[in-house]
Amino acid sequence: MLVSEAIERKNTIKQSIDELDYYLEKIASIPNVRESSPVYNEVINNMFDLLDKYQSHIILLYNSNSTTTIKVGEAEITVAIAVALLRTIEEKISILTKIITSDDASVSVPDLIKQRDKWLEEKILIKQAIEQSNNSTEID
């Protein structure tokens, strides 16, 4: 299975967990349903099974990301480090965008836009390297 497939499966499992959780909350709000409903117990068992599968996918992806290296510009780094860098850059971009769109006239908006554009280019390079790796790396 490719990393990209494992990610998709993990996301689908997470969606199912969220849906079952929502359903459990609805059932739990109905008096006497929890104790007497076989459906409630079945949903709980399904939830535990899905949580086990989700955890397995998280571990599988973590192991792959920790050992797989990619080239970003001239640097060779693990996918795990690239993901951490990507999150940091996205946060920086978000902060700069808030400052740029604020009413604060004391900031140099053109300079901030240049900095944001620089980080956007870095973000694109990192995302492309991660996606290429995800679409070509086989995992167990």
Q: Quick: pLDDT tens for 32-85.
A: 766 667 777 888 899 999 999 999 999 999 999 999 999 998 999 999 999 999
The residue-averaged pLDDT of 114-129 equals 96
For the whole prediction, is pTM greater than 0.75?
Answer: yes
Q: How many CB atoms lie under 10 A from the CB of residue 92?
A: 15
Q: 94 Cβ partners below 8 Å, 6+ apart?
A: none
Distance (Å, whole) CA 109 – CA 113: 6
